[in-house]
Structure 1
Amino acid sequence: MPFAPSQIIVRRYVRAGRTTFAKPMRVVSDDDAGLLLWMPVGTEHAQLTDTDGSTLHDRPLHEMRDPRLVRKKWRFWDILVLMPAGAAYSVWWFFSPEGDFGGWYVNLETPFTRRPEGVDTTDLVLDIVVSPDRAWEWKDEDEFAAAIGTPGYFDAATAGEIRAEGERIITLAKAGAFPFDGTHTGFRPDPAWAQLTGQIIPPLQ
């Protein structure tokens, strides 16, 4: 069953049976183009964080001492996120709090699965940043390389497939093809939508 427009769901990252990120997001649409979600600056989300404040950007899960989900505020950019069904990525549109389009972000991730209250995916570490003029660059390449062969991540062959998918999307960006063709760059949220608050996140484990 598709999610209903304006419904609030939780987009989760999971790894090795643990929730590593939980973001409440507003459903814009859920159709053949994919699941389109909205999350503004100030949204309270949860991120897996170790006792010293480090996250999975700093060390892999198996090296953390006592990681817990910690509530944090989403900062800097409002985001519109497209998750095409069966795709190993999501595309994010960045907007300033004033509504100015700031570029795209491609998060390489496993195809999502649905839950009654949201969707789950696993982050594949490597990302792509695309500016409004469609100049692009890889993000987190060092972290991606370090994850190869690490427990709970991926082997070298899978890493090659992940990068190949990223290169395919870069080709779309350079060509100005969908989703980099100007679609959604003028998006504005419904002014009736309330702020997403921490009460939407399930109890933290």
Structure 2
Amino acid sequence: MARDVARAHYSAFPVRVVANDGREAAAHIAEGTRFRFSPDRWLFEGEHPWESRGVWTGHGVLVTHRPGHAHAVWHFWKGPERRFAGWYVNLQAPFVRDGREFDTNDHALDLWIEPDVSWR
């Protein structure tokens, strides 16, 4: 389970851990994965941006975390041939392992990197 926790507000979703060797933790979010949100309002005005979707859409995504690093890298694919689409760098608090769960706090600032390594 991956959780984004901020002042008693959270979002959570199940993941499949594909690597966890102490240097890196990698988790797969499968297509159709359901999200869970705290019953009260999100930290900002309105609902969490993913809340209306309810489930992960598109291909699954691989998320890699390194202990002590204040970001995670999301690896995306697109199209029926599942061609690599790019990296989404999510700036967040370093993850904390809590039993079978990974907790972090999203800093709501992100970076998209194309396969040619250009970024926006």
Q: Give 1:80's aligned amino acid.
A: L
Give the aligned partner of residue 60 of structure 2. Answer: 78
Distance in 2 separating the partners of 1:126 and 1:18: 18
Larger Rg: 1
User: Deviation per CA, 1:32-72, whole angstroms, max 9, x where unpaired?
Assistant: 4310010122111224587xxxx85xxxx26559xxx8881
Matched, 1:14 2:11: no
Matched, 1:104 2:87: yes
Distance in 2 separating the partners of 1:74 and 1:62: 21
Instruction: Give the structure-1-normalised TM-score.
Output: 0.50
Distance in 1 separating the partners of 2:55 and 2:12: 12
Give the aligned partner of residue 23 of structure 1. Answer: 13
Q: Give 1:17's aligned amino acid.
A: A
Distance in 1 separating the partners of 2:39 and 2:57: 17
Q: Tell me the number of residue pairs that the alignment of Structure 1 and Structure 2 aligns.
A: 116
Q: Find the residue that maps to 2:35 and give its secondary structure.
A: strand
Give the aligned partner of residue 115 of structure 1. Answer: 98
Distance in 2 separating the partners of 1:71 and 1:112: 25
Distance in 1 separating the partners of 2:85 and 2:44: 35
Q: Give 2:16's aligned amino acid.
A: R
Q: How does 1:16-165 map to 2 (within 5 A)?
A: 16-19=7-10, 21-47=11-37, 56=42, 61=43, 63=45, 72-96=54-78, 98=80, 99-137=82-120
Consecutive unaligned residues of structure 1, counting only runs of 5 or more, are 1-9, 138-205
Distance in 2 separating the partners of 1:121 and 1:49: 19
Could you tell me the percent identity over the aligned residues? 34
Residues 133, 113 of structure 1: CA spacing in aligned structure 2 closer, same or farther, 3 A cutoff? same
Distance in 1 separating the partners of 2:98 and 2:83: 33
Consecutive unaligned residues of structure 2, counting only runs of 5 or more, are none
Distance in 2 separating the partners of 1:15 and 1:124: 10
CA RMSD, aligned part only? Answer: 2.6
Point out the structure with the larger strand share.
Answer: 2
Runs of 4+ in 1 over 6 A off after TM superposition: none
